[in-house]
Chains A and B, each alone.
Chain A
């Protein structure tokens, strides 16, 4: 009986996993196809760009500036042991643009925007607002999902660009005012080894992270069931799944595309 019960649990979990993967694949396909097919709801797109981009700027900026500051301090602690302080500016700018900018901005936006999307769509689902859209001859994928995905794909790279600049500024402030670096030399060293590809690779990652955040948030919200509890579960799942997706994709993208 124990073995049967165990097998039953394993079987049910496996079926549930493949059901989820299949459902997510279909949702992704339909959502992406709706991004390219009219009608386009531009008002919705601008509202989402404002919410995802502009309103996320403070939290992303704060994360970036403190990360840049800590990075400069930690690099100094390590590099001063073998008299390589001159590499701090390069380490800060490369770390921020290639890695920390996109990942930290992605995680912060996943927490802020992913949760909000799941909660909003989840509430719309349980209060029949999504059904109401259908009865008004409006495709909910085109009206709700597509603008969120497009807005996230556009806004995340812009946010990361801001995060890069603010993070480097954080490193500069600490290096000049606390560690006693010369301002002109630090700025020169910052740009000496920085290549356009370093920044572009980070922006490419950001666009993909933006897509994942919006997709997971919308999928969890759109499929939520069971009232307030279901919406709460969808919100948690959206943040957890998009955060994990960001971390996994970050490794895959770095190892496959940008490790040259």
Chain B
């Protein structure tokens, strides 16, 4: 169990996750997660595939209900709230999904202004004005407003997704694998937009990624998730200096000697490959 050092500044705790557990059948995905994010702080959760990053994010947003633990937003436990109270908390959230998750049936401006238009019931002209500002903030022009999401490139979809995430000026923004599937230049653009959005809104952010470059650029604080546990937490600047073998292994892309499961899996796949090659040669 890792707890972050509390500094002496007056910043309030925005999100606090305490002893979070989540299982799917016999698969124990989250095994006691603890972390705390303060106002205006950006946390990046690093981890390999299947480490539980997405499940952690979905639990914090409220898309999944944890089996055990507490999730405090502004000091209030969301797991003890009724549906209306949870909806009120969700108004503080913005989220950028891995595949942008734009609504196919709506135009770009209706996607971005969805919450303002349908929940806050603002007039269409006002929403369009806000949408123009948000599009400008993510580096897109007015010309995309009437397009459908299918007419946009992957990078543009991500930008529109980001514009939707920041449209209602949220206090907390979640980024799910924001740079996956993008070229290096677009990755850099999205990273900059994330930092800029968080700074402009003075929002706190949780980003889950396996991209080290994104993590270094975006994070104030980094947490390393492995097999459902946070095995390392520290400042972004500490990432290079850390002696934690799991973090080093993740950064360098090497399999650590003590990681028996990885070594076994690697040996098994090598052996399977050898058998398959032999068989193919025999059939020739």
The residues of B that contact A136 with a CB separation of less than 8 Å are: 90, 114-115, 119, 164
Contact call A131/B101, Cβ cutoff below 8 A: yes
When C-beta atoms are compared, the residue in chain B nearest to A43 turns out to be B118
The residues of A that contact B103 with a CB separation of less than 8 Å are: 124, 129, 132
Contact digits for B185-222, partner A, Cβ 8 Å, 1 yes 0 no: 00000000000000000000000000000000000000
Give Cα A137–Cα B88 distance, bound, in whole angstroms: 8
Question: Is B62 in contact with chain A by the CB < 8 A criterion?
Answer: yes
B126 to chain A, nearest CB (A): 17
B175 to chain A, nearest CB (A): 12
Interface residues on B, range: 20 to 34
Give Cα A129–Cα B114 distance, bound, in whole angstroms: 12
Contact call B118/A129, Cβ cutoff below 8 A: no
The residues of B that contact A14 with a CB separation of less than 8 Å are: none
Contact digits for A119-143, partner B, Cβ 8 Å, 1 yes 0 no: 0000110011101101111110001
Neighbour of A132 across the interface among B58, B87, B95, CB < 8 A: B95
The residues of B that contact A132 with a CB separation of less than 8 Å are: 95, 97, 101-103
Question: Is B93 in contact with chain A by the CB < 8 A criterion?
Answer: yes
Give Cα A133–Cα B166 distance, bound, in whole angstroms: 15
Contact digits for B59-78, partner A, Cβ 8 Å, 1 yes 0 no: 00111000000000000000
Contact call A138/B61, Cβ cutoff below 8 A: no
B183 to chain A, nearest CB (A): 21
Neighbour of B63 across the interface among A39, A134, A138, CB < 8 A: A134
A34 to chain B, nearest CB (A): 11
Contact call B115/A127, Cβ cutoff below 8 A: no
Contact call A134/B97, Cβ cutoff below 8 A: no
Interface residues on A, range: 10 to 19
Contact digits for B95-133, partner A, Cβ 8 Å, 1 yes 0 no: 101110111100000000011001100000000000000
Contact call A131/B99, Cβ cutoff below 8 A: no
Question: Is B248 in contact with chain A by the CB < 8 A criterion?
Answer: no
Contact call A135/B90, Cβ cutoff below 8 A: yes
Neighbour of B119 across the interface among A128, A131, A134, A138, CB < 8 A: A138
Question: Is A258 in contact with chain B by the CB < 8 A criterion?
Answer: no
Give Cα A41–Cα B106 distance, bound, in whole angstroms: 14
The residues of A that contact B31 with a CB separation of less than 8 Å are: none
B177 to chain A, nearest CB (A): 11
Neighbour of A137 across the interface among B87, B98, B164, CB < 8 A: B87
The residues of B that contact A41 with a CB separation of less than 8 Å are: 118
Contact call A137/B95, Cβ cutoff below 8 A: no
Tell me the residues in window 27-82 of chain B with beta carbons closer than 8 Å to chain A beta carbons.
58, 61-63
A139 to chain B, nearest CB (A): 8
The residues of A that contact B91 with a CB separation of less than 8 Å are: 137
The residues of A that contact B174 with a CB separation of less than 8 Å are: 135
When C-beta atoms are compared, the residue in chain B nearest to A47 turns out to be B105
A231 to chain B, nearest CB (A): 13
Given contacts A134-B62, A134-B90, contact A128 B97 (CB under 8 A): yes
Contact call B93/A138, Cβ cutoff below 8 A: no
When C-beta atoms are compared, the residue in chain B nearest to A41 turns out to be B118
Give Cα A41–Cα B99 distance, bound, in whole angstroms: 26
Contact call B104/A129, Cβ cutoff below 8 A: yes
Give Cα A127–Cα B118 distance, bound, in whole angstroms: 21
Tell me the residues in window 134-180 of chain B with beta carbons closer than 8 Å to chain A beta carbons.
164, 174
Give Cα A39–Cα B115 distance, bound, in whole angstroms: 13
When C-beta atoms are compared, the residue in chain B nearest to A132 turns out to be B101
Give Cα A127–Cα B161 distance, bound, in whole angstroms: 13
When C-beta atoms are compared, the residue in chain A nearest to B168 turns out to be A136
Contact call B97/A138, Cβ cutoff below 8 A: no
Residue contacts A-B, CB under 8 angstroms, 7 given: A41-B118, A127-B99, A128-B97, A131-B97, A132-B101, A132-B103, A137-B88
7 tightest A-B CB contacts, nearest first: A132-B101, A137-B90, A128-B101, A135-B95, A136-B115, A128-B97, A137-B87
State the B residues within 8 Å of A (CB): 58, 61-63, 83, 87-88, 90-91, 93-95, 97-99, 101-104, 114-115, 118-119, 164, 174
State the A residues within 8 Å of B (CB): 39, 41, 123-124, 127-129, 131-132, 134-139, 143
Given contacts A131-B58, A134-B63, 6 further A-B contacts (CB under 8 A): A39-B119, A127-B99, A135-B93, A136-B119, A137-B87, A139-B87
